[in-house]
């Protein structure tokens, strides 16, 4: 009988630890992301556009607070599309974009490791003319 009770207690302890593991793992991932969140921005340039992501550490998490795209090569007519995790997407106005001119969107969300924050450019006929240019925080 003692062996049965001991076995039951060990099984119960194992099941309890399995139930709390995902929350503990998420907290560990969040704290890791915050610990590595030590710069204010990251950027990537390709196909004549630059995408830059601005982020900050609030002590427990790393937050993306702004995403921008800019013309890194010449003058372009069309619009930028910025997009990121969980279906977030925003378009700039369609217009002539001068070299260095940027479009920015505010976004205050936790930056989980591996999330991609991207931008692309569409011409005046709404045809995508650049590849997706992405940054991960």
Q: What does the alpha-carbon distance between residue 89 and residue 85 come to, in Å, rounded to a whole number?
A: 9
Predicted local distance difference test score (pLDDT) of residue 58: 82
Taking Cα atoms as reference points, which of 112, 109, 114 lies closest to residue 33?
Answer: 112
Q: Encode pLDDT of 66-108 as tens digits.
A: 999 999 999 999 999 999 998 899 999 999 999 999 999 998 8
**Per-residue pLDDT, 2:** 53
Alpha-carbon gap, residue 133 to 20, rounded angstroms: 38
* pLDDT number for residue 112: 85
Q: What are phi and psi of 52, to 5 degrees?
A: -125, 135
| pLDDT tops 70 at residue 10 | no
Model pTM score: 0.72
């Amino acid at each position: 009988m003692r062996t049965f009770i001991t076995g039951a207690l060990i099984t119960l302890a194992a099941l309890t630890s399995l139930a709390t593991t995902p929350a503990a793992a998420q907290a560990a991932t969040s704290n890791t992301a915050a610990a590595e969140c030590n710069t204010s921005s990251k950027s990537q340039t390709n196909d004549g556009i630059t995408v830059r992501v601005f982020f900050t550490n609030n002590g427990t998490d790393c937050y993306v607070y702004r995403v921008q795209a800019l013309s890194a090569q010449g003058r372009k007519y069309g619009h930028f599309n910025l997009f990121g995790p969980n279906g977030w997407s925003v378009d700039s106005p369609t217009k002539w974009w001068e070299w260095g001119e940027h479009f920015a969107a505010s976004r205050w969300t936790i930056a989980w490791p591996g999330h991609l924050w991207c931008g692309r450019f569409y011409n005046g006929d709404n045809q995508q003319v650049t590849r997706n240019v992405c940054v991960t925080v």
